[in-house]
Structure 1
Amino acid sequence: VWDDDYGISVPAKYQTTKEDISEVLSGFQRTPDALGYEIIKVHGWDYTGLIHAYENAADIARVEHVPVLVHVIELTQPQGHSTSGSHERYKSEERLKWEKEYDCNLQFKNWILANNIAEEEELEVLEKEIKKEVRLAKKEAWSEFLEPQIRAKKELVSLLGSVADQSASRIYLTRIKNDIIAIDEPSKKDIASFARKALRYVLGENNTSIDALRNWIDKFLETGEQHYSTHLYNESDSNATSIKEVLPKYSSEREWVDGRIILRNNFDSLLGAHPELIIFGEDSGAIGDVNQGLEGLQKKYGEYRVSDTGIREATIIGQGIGLAMRGLRPIAEIQYLDYLMYALQVLSDDLATLLYRTVGKQKAPLIVRTRGHRLEGIWHSGSQLGGFIHLLRGMYILVPRNMTKAAGFYNTLLKSDEPALVIECLNGYRLKEAIPENLSEISTPIGVVETVKEGTDITLLSYGATLRIVQKVAEELVDVGIDAEVIDAQSLLPFDITHETVNSLKKTNRLLIIDEDVPGGCSAYLLQQIQEVQGGFEYLDCPPETLTARSHRPAYGTDGDYFSKPNAEDIFERVYKIMHESNPTDYPELR
C-alpha cells in the first residue's frame, strides 16, 4: 500500500479509520497460534529499510505461502495527483517543507554520502549527466513520435495543393492548407480533421486529385482505427467465434434428467480433461453450488480444484483474473446475476479491457459463471443485461436457454482463451433435459443465433428463460392463424455475426423482440444490431417493436413476476396486435 497520507487532496483522517490502514488491518496479523497475513510497515524514504522489507515479504510469500501486506508510509508526492491537483493547494507549509526534506531521491543521496559510496562532487556530475541524458531521450522520443504525423502532413499539403489548383473553392482549400502548414507539431486529429473538412468544399466536383484525397483520407482513418480501436477481442484464428458448433447426439431411448445433472456431468468431464481448470465461488465447493451443478466434484477433485469463497464478488473476480493471467483456466462463480454488480468495476476496468489496453499482449481467459432471469423475487430475479452489454465490451456475454446449451458454451470457451460471462437460467435447473451421448464434445457456437421454430408471419427474438415462454406462445398463435418464427439470440456479445436474423425478416417482414430487461435495455441493443448493422429496416412492412419488463425491479411472488415481466398473455396479445394492424380483416381486434 503506497501511503502518502492523502487520497488525492483528502487527508488520511477522512480516508481511513485510525488514519492508518495497517492499524485497521492489525486483526489480520498472523500469530504463532493463528493463520493470517504478515503486515510490514516501512518508511518510503528509507532505502535499506525498503530492501529488507521487500526481501522479507518475498521470502514469507514464496516460501511460507502467506499473504503479505507491505504498508509504505511517509511518502511524498511532489507533483500532486494530477496536473489539475497541485499539492500546494491543499498541503500546509509545514507539510510541504517536510516533503522537500524527505524527498526519496534526496534521502537516497544522503544515504550514499553517509555510507561513503560516493563524494558530493561525483553525485553532482552524475546528476547533470542524467538530466542531460533524460532531456536527450525525451527529445528523441518526441521526434520519433512526431515523424509519422510530419510525413502525413507533407502528403496532405501536397494533395490539398493539387485539389485547390483544380477547384472553384481554391481560396478556402488554400486556407485549410496554410492552416495545417502552420502547425509545427500536428496530431493525428489535426491532420484527419483538416483533410475531411476539405472535402466539403469540393462537393459536386470530380477529378483525379479529389479521388486521391478521398483515398488518402480513407487509408489514414483506417490506420488510425488500427492504432486505437483493435484487440477488443481476440483477432487471431483461435478466437472463440471461430470454433464450430458440435451438436448433441441422443440415443433412441433418451435419458431425461434435471438440467443441473447435465451441468454437473459436463463440469466433471472438463475437470478431468483440463488439469489447469479450477472452479470457485460462493457455495461452489462443499455443497456443489446452490443449485447442485457442482455436486460431489470437490470431493472428487479436491479443495484446490473446486473451492468455496467468501461473499465478496469483487475479489472473486480479481482472484480469477490473477489466476487466468498466470496460465490457469478459472471459472469464477458469482451466485446470482444481481450480485455481479458488486464486481462490475473490476470486470469492466480490469478484465474486459485487458486485451485492448495491452494491444493484444496480455489476456485473462476468465470464465464468469452466474445465474439469473426469472425467479419471482426482487433480489435474485434481475436481468440487468442492458448495463452489462455496454459495460463489458471485450467479454463474451452468453445467455443459454437451457443447461445443454450452457454446457456447450463452457466447452467452447475452454477451446479458446478469452473472457466470458455465462448466465444460466435460474429457473431451469430442475427442468428435465435429455442427456446427450457426446456431452463432453458438444460446442455451442458463440455469436450465432438459433432458429428454434420456423414461421412466415413474424419474427420473434428472445433469449434465456423468456425464450421458453415465447416458444409456448408461438404454439398458441398457430390456433389463431399466426405462424411465428422464433429465434434464440443465445449470444448477446457478439450478436448474430452471420446475420441470420435479417434473413428471417426477409421472409416475415415483421419483428418483435422480447426480453425481461428494462425498456430501452438489451432489447434496444438487439434492435440496433438488427436495424443498423444488419440493415433489417429494408425488409420490414411495419415498425419493429420491443416487449420488455417494467422499469422497476421484479416484484415479489408469482403475481409480482406476472405484472413485472413479459408473460405469455402479453406476448400473445402484442403479436396479435401487430398482425391486426397489418391485416384487420383476418385478425379482428382482440381487446
Structure 2
Amino acid sequence: MTLTRNEHSPTRAALVEWVKQLEKESIERYDSHLYLQGARSALNIEEIKPVYSDASPTLYGFEVLNACFDAALAREPRFIAFGEDVGRLGDVNQAFRGLQDKYGPLRVSDTGIREATIVGQAIGMALRGLRPLAEIQYLDYLLYALQILSDDLASLLWRTKGGQIAPVIVRTRGHRLEGIWHSGSPMGAILHLLRGMHVLVPRDMTCAAGFYNTLLRAEEPALVIEVLNGYRIRERLPDNIGEFTVPLGVPETLRAGSDITLVTYGACCRIALEAANLLSEVGVEAEVIDVQSLLPFDIHGRILESLKKTSRIIFIDEDMPGGATAYMLQEVIEKQGGYYWLDAPPRTLTAKPHRPAYGSDGDYWSKPNVEQVFDAAYEMMREVDPGAYPELY
C-alpha cells in the first residue's frame, strides 16, 4: 500500500477494499469475545437506583453487605459463597455473619488457605451452572491465584470464541489500612493480567452491594475490590438492598467544580473530597469523580466532559507509580482525546514505590494523603495566576 500510495486505479481501489475486509475478518477471528455481548452482558443490566425512606436505617458498611448477601441467597438458589473464614466466622469483616446458620454449610462455607484452589473450585462450579462468589481474604493474597485467574478464568470466553463462560464473582478487600501484607493495591498488574474480567473498585459498601446485584443478574466473571477501611463507616441501608444495581463503566461525580478535575476510586475518594473542600477555602473549585470500575472504564466519556470544563486533571490512586493512574491517564488523555482540552500537563498521584508501611503514620507516608492532593492541585492553579495563588513552601 505504501509503494502504490500515489496511484489512483481500479486495481488499487480493489486492493484497499480487500485489506479492509481482511482486517474486519481478522478482528472477528482473533479479537472477538473477550467480553460477553447481548442480554447476559453486565453492561446491559438495567440500572435500578437505591431507594431510601424515613425508615431506612443507618448501619455499618459490613451490615449493608450482610443484608445484600442475605437477599441474594434468598433470591438466587444457585448463589453460593465460600472462602477463608467465610462460613462459621462470617468472613473477617462479618459481611456473611449468621448466613451459614440461615442457609446451611453447602451455600456458605469455609475453605483451606489456598487461593488458587478457591478460584479453581469457583470456575468448575460456574461451568456447571452455579453462581459462586469466591472470596480472597485480602487483595495482597490475590497474587497466589493470579495464574488461575488470568490463564483459566479471564481468557475462557475468548479462547473458546464464546463457547464457554464461567460467571465467577471474586470478592476481596484492599487499599489502605493494615500495613505491608494487607493493604496493597497492585491494580496495574491486575489490569494487565485480567482482561476478560470486569474489575470493579467501589468506594463504599452500598456501591459494592449494587455491583454484586448487577453481576448476579449478568453472566460474566468479575473481581470486586472492597475498601478495607470502610466496613466500620456508617451508611444508609437502601430499602431495595437486594434489587438496586450499579452500572459498570459509569463514573459518578461526587463533587462539582469548574477549576480542576480529580479522578480517583476506592478509599482515595474520601481523600480527594477532603482535599477538594480545603481547596474551596482558597478559591479553587475541584470536581471529584469516582471512576467506580476500571474494566470497563468510563464508557460514556464523562471524565472527558469534566475535563472540557476544567482543562486540568489529576489522577489519584494507591497503586505504585506507572500503575492504574497511568492506565486512567491513557484512557482519558489518549483514547478519549482529552489532550486537546488541556491547559496544563496532566498529573498522577500514587503510592510510594514500596510496600505500605504499618500504622497510621506509615499509611500517611506510603499512600496519597490530603495534603499531597491539595498541593498538587494548588500548584496547577498557581501556574495560571501566581498572584492569586502565592507559593506555599
Distance of 2:166 and 2:274 partners within structure 1: 40
Distance of 1:215 and 1:237 partners within structure 2: 33
Q: Are 2:371 and 1:569 equivalent residues in the alignment?
A: yes
Q: 1:556 aligns with which of 353, 358, 361?
A: 358
**Worse-superposed segment, 408-417 or 529-538:** 529-538
Q: Are residues 237 and 214 of structure 1, via their aligned partners in 2, closer, same or farther at CA, if it must alter by over 3 Å?
A: farther
Indicate the residue corresponding to 1:432 in structure 2: 234
Q: Are 2:87 and 1:285 equivalent residues in the alignment?
A: yes
Q: Are 2:189 and 1:374 equivalent residues in the alignment?
A: no
Indicate the residue corresponding to 1:251 in structure 2: 53
Distance of 2:180 and 2:51 partners within structure 1: 38
Distance of 2:359 and 2:160 partners within structure 1: 47
Distance of 1:208 and 1:561 partners within structure 2: 67
Distance of 1:556 and 1:360 partners within structure 2: 45
Indicate the residue corresponding to 2:297 in structure 1: 495
Question: What is the deviation of 1:287?
Answer: 0.9
Q: Are 2:72 and 1:270 equivalent residues in the alignment?
A: yes
User: Secondary structure of the equivalent of 1:546?
Assistant: strand
Aligned residue type for 2:349: L
Distance of 1:208 and 1:504 partners within structure 2: 47
Q: Are 2:189 and 1:387 equivalent residues in the alignment?
A: yes
For the 8 Å contact 2:171–2:224, the answer to whether it is kept is: yes
Aligned residue type for 2:259: D
User: Secondary structure of the equivalent of 2:109?
Assistant: strand
User: Secondary structure of the equivalent of 1:217?
Assistant: helix
Q: Are residues 505 and 304 of structure 1, via their aligned partners in 2, closer, same or farther at CA, if it must alter by over 3 Å?
A: same
Q: Are 2:90 and 1:322 equivalent residues in the alignment?
A: no
Q: Structure 1 stretches of 5 or more lacking a match? A: 1-198
**Worse-superposed segment, 435-444 or 511-520:** 435-444
User: Secondary structure of the equivalent of 1:461?
Assistant: strand
For the 8 Å contact 2:35–2:157, the answer to whether it is kept is: yes
- What does 1:516-531 correspond to in 2, within 5 Å? 516-531=318-333
Report the TM-score, using the length of structure 1 for normalisation: 0.66
Q: Are residues 207 and 486 of structure 1, via their aligned partners in 2, closer, same or farther at CA, if it must alter by over 3 Å?
A: farther
Distance of 2:226 and 2:144 partners within structure 1: 19
- What does 1:418-497 correspond to in 2, within 5 Å? 418-497=220-299
Question: What is the deviation of 1:216?
Answer: 1.9
Indicate the residue corresponding to 2:20 in structure 1: 218
Distance of 2:356 and 2:10 partners within structure 1: 62
Indicate the residue corresponding to 1:412 in structure 2: 214
Indicate the residue corresponding to 1:357 in structure 2: 159
Distance of 1:443 and 1:243 partners within structure 2: 8
Question: What is the deviation of 1:368?
Answer: 0.3
State the Cα deviation string for residues 385-442 of structure 1 (Å, max 9, x = none).
0100110000000000000000000000011100000000010000000111111111
State the Cα deviation string for residues 30-64 of structure 1 (Å, max 9, x = none).
xxxxxxxxxxxxxxxxxxxxxxxxxxxxxxxxxxx
State the Cα deviation string for residues 248-272 of structure 1 (Å, max 9, x = none).
1111354211000100001000000
Aligned length: 393
- Give runs of ≥4 in structure 1 deviating > 4 Å: none
For the 8 Å contact 2:259–2:310, the answer to whether it is kept is: yes
Aligned residue type for 1:342: Y
Distance of 1:206 and 1:245 partners within structure 2: 51
Q: Are 2:112 and 1:310 equivalent residues in the alignment?
A: yes
Aligned residue type for 1:443: T
Question: What is the deviation of 1:215?
Answer: 2.3
Distance of 1:481 and 1:407 partners within structure 2: 36
Distance of 1:202 and 1:566 partners within structure 2: 54
Q: 1:340 aligns with which of 139, 142, 147?
A: 142
For the 8 Å contact 2:39–2:45, the answer to whether it is kept is: no
Aligned residue type for 2:189: G
User: Secondary structure of the equivalent of 1:531?
Assistant: helix
Question: What is the deviation of 1:209?
Answer: 3.7
For the 8 Å contact 2:34–2:157, the answer to whether it is kept is: yes
Q: Structure 2 stretches of 5 or more lacking a match? A: none
Question: What is the deviation of 1:204?
Answer: 3.8
State the Cα deviation string for residues 464-488 of structure 1 (Å, max 9, x = none).
0111111111111110111111110
Indicate the residue corresponding to 1:202 in structure 2: 4
Question: What is the deviation of 1:207?
Answer: 4.3
User: Secondary structure of the equivalent of 1:407?
Assistant: helix
Aligned residue type for 1:228: Y
Distance of 1:205 and 1:563 partners within structure 2: 62
**Worse-superposed segment, 375-384 or 250-259:** 250-259
Aligned residue type for 2:344: C
Question: What is the deviation of 1:208?
Answer: 4.3
- What does 1:97-108 correspond to in 2, within 5 Å? none
Indicate the residue corresponding to 1:238 in structure 2: 40
Aligned residue type for 2:211: F
For the 8 Å contact 1:376–1:560, the answer to whether it is kept is: no
Larger radius of gyration: 1
Distance of 1:561 and 1:506 partners within structure 2: 34
User: Secondary structure of the equivalent of 1:201?
Assistant: coil
State the Cα deviation string for residues 482-518 of structure 1 (Å, max 9, x = none).
1111110100011011111111111111110000000
Aligned residue type for 2:291: A
Higher fraction of helix: 1
Tell me the C-alpha RMSD between the 2 structures.
1.0
Aligned residue type for 2:43: T
